[in-house]
Structure 1
């Protein structure tokens, strides 16, 4: 039996509502932007609004896959010595709007990823199910994360980047998410 968000209660409903709220803050920051604005870097940072949405979508997709597949969903162990210049460029492009991309497509991908994550949250057997994290310098060695902790991490990532996006949008045209 598949559960949908309309039948969720308790902790799952609370987690889903929090995630949806922070996603909406992020989407709000790009509402009404032109393509040039979505790709612009209005601060000294390399960040742009379209790139932030792309990054959040890619991050959420990887972590949602981790809930189902473990470390393989995040790409496995991280070996910085194996990174090629092409891999580094792909990572940098995740934060940018590159040739051939547009904001509508970036947002559509984000919506698709969000729907998949919502379904995983609604249907995963237990929020306590866990997997070992891949080896990487930024993870505690030999740690495991539960589905619950992964969802909390996705919420935190989305919230943090929605704040970054708010600063970028205010720099572009003065619009603020709140206030």
Structure 2
């Protein structure tokens, strides 16, 4: 593994940890509550980032076809259920992404699946895919922090360095 891969995964995992802190102590009922004018919920964001990790791992490992749910507009909706299982699914997806990145060359170009908004996409480097997942995770970590603070006053920043 190269220093660059180590650095990219370190930053990505820092953002994942920030996101994961917002989930501490939540119940399934908390995870489906809308606390802002947005339809986003903490469970919905967790479902979406789990899908993102799985989808990009699918692409990184060059599995054929479009990843399941890639074009599903309800990917931000989590109707409820076993929140602990959803957390475990996210953690499993994170491990799979990290493993795929560790075994890849960052310069390798990977074919992208077609989508309605881009029927003939250009290939992306593994590096760019990792940076995309990093950006996506950071963006949604911020959303989650706002939702959580509105839900019960908990601030991710205040809890980042708690054990």
Normalising by the smaller structure, the TM-score range is 0.7 to 0.9
Aligned length: 157
Question: How much has 1:69 moved relative to structure 2?
Answer: 1.2
Report what 2:137 is aligned to: 158
Q: What TM-score do you get using the length of structure 1 for normalisation?
A: 0.79
Give TM-score scaled by structure 2 length: 0.86
Is 1:116 aligned to 2:96, yes or no? yes
- Residues 1:20 and 2:13 are matched in the alignment: yes
- Higher CA-based Rg: 1
Query: How many angstroms apart in 2 are the aligned matches of 1:117 and 1:20?
Result: 11
1:167 aligns with 2:149: no
Give CA-to-partner distance per residue, 1:15-46, whole Å, 9 cap, x none.
Answer: 11011111111110110112211110111111
Instruction: Classify the secondary structure of the residue corresponding to 2:79.
Output: coil
Give the 3 Å change call, closer, same or farther, for CA 23–129 of structure 1 in structure 2: same
RMSD: 2.1
Q: Is residue 62–residue 74 contact of structure 1 (8 Å, CA) maintained in 2?
A: yes
How far the C-alpha of 1:140 sits from its partner, in A, is 8.9
What does residue 84 of structure 2 align with? 104
Structure 2 partner of 1:127: 106
The CA deviation at 1:111 is 0.6
For residue 135 of structure 1, report the CA deviation from its aligned partner.
3.0
Contact 2:66 2:113 in 1 (8 A): no
Q: Is the 8 A contact 1:70 1:131 kept in 2?
A: no
- Residue deviations 1:57-105 (CA, integer Å, cap 9, x gap): 1011101111111672546x97xxxxxxxxx6xx32x323325x22101
> Where does the alignment leave 5 or more consecutive residues of structure 2 unmatched?
159-163
